[in-house]
Amino acid sequence: MAETSLPAGSAMQTQEADIKAAAVKAALAGRSVVLVGMMGAGKSTIGRRLAARLGLPFFDADMEIEAAAGMSIPDIFETRGEPDFRDGEARVIARLLDNGPAVIAPGGGALMRKETRDRIREKAVSIWLKADAEIIMRRVKRRSDRPLLQTADPEATVGRLMSEREPIYQQADLTVWSRDVPHEKIVDECVDALHGRLCDQEGRMGITP
């Protein structure tokens, strides 16, 4: 493809990336992009950069939940319990989707609710940021603010959650491997995947998800 022969970071390469991102944004036609996947998959890190690339606002659903509740996620789990957190999470994601287009990063468990999956399918294009267990473990170990991982054996917990959730994540419209490469490379791959799915060769609306 043309861009592989251009020197990295060249003005022409940047221009091509801008044109591709603009084509994707137009083809989204008001829909949002939702990044799904496990804790530690990089949904917020990549989402923030993808939003900047597409010229869309970015929302981290966990941060929106914390703002709405006026307390941190661990405090919500502790004082109100997980079912209450999940209700709030479903409401926040519904609101973000209603107010789109945006790039949205829901928490890793949000898709376990069918109503949330249905809303995402209706109002967004979803990308599964897929990461292997080793990468997830390495990343989640850096933080202690994930209540579900405060167990005697966090590794086993991650394994169990992955096997429960991956069949759901794999229903996403697109899949991009999250791995230890520069963030902008993963963003490029997200834009390429969106472009391939949404745009025909002239960069106009193609297949609808």
Binding site for ligand S3P (CB under 6 A): 39, 43, 62, 73, 107-109, 146-148
107-138 residues labelled b (16+ CB within 10 A) or e (exposed): bbbbbebeebbebbeebbbbbbbbbeeebbbe
Residues forming beta bridges with residue 50, ordered by sequence position: none
Neighbours of 25 (CB within 10 A): 18
33 versus 198: smaller Cβ distance to ligand S3P: 33
Min CB(19)–ligand S3P separation in Å: 31
Q: What is the DSSP letter of 149?
A: G
Q: What is the DSSP letter of 205?
A: B
73 versus 103: smaller Cβ distance to ligand S3P: 73
Task: Name residue, tokens 């091509």.
Answer: 16
Min CB(46)–ligand S3P separation in Å: 12
176 versus 198: smaller Cβ distance to ligand S3P: 176
Min CB(111)–ligand S3P separation in Å: 9
Reduce the DSSP state of residue 176 to 3 states and report it: strand
Min CB(185)–ligand S3P separation in Å: 21
77 versus 177: smaller Cβ distance to ligand S3P: 77
Return d(Cα 56, Cα 202) in angstroms, integer.
22
Min CB(97)–ligand S3P separation in Å: 17
Q: Write out the DSSP string of 79-97.
A: HH-HHHHHHHHHHHHHHHH
71 versus 148: smaller Cβ distance to ligand S3P: 148
Element (H, E) at 166: helix 154-169
Task: Name residue, tokens 């789990």.
Answer: 77
Q: What is the DSSP letter of 57?
A: -
133 versus 148: smaller Cβ distance to ligand S3P: 148
Min CB(86)–ligand S3P separation in Å: 9
Residue closest to ligand S3P (Cβ): 107
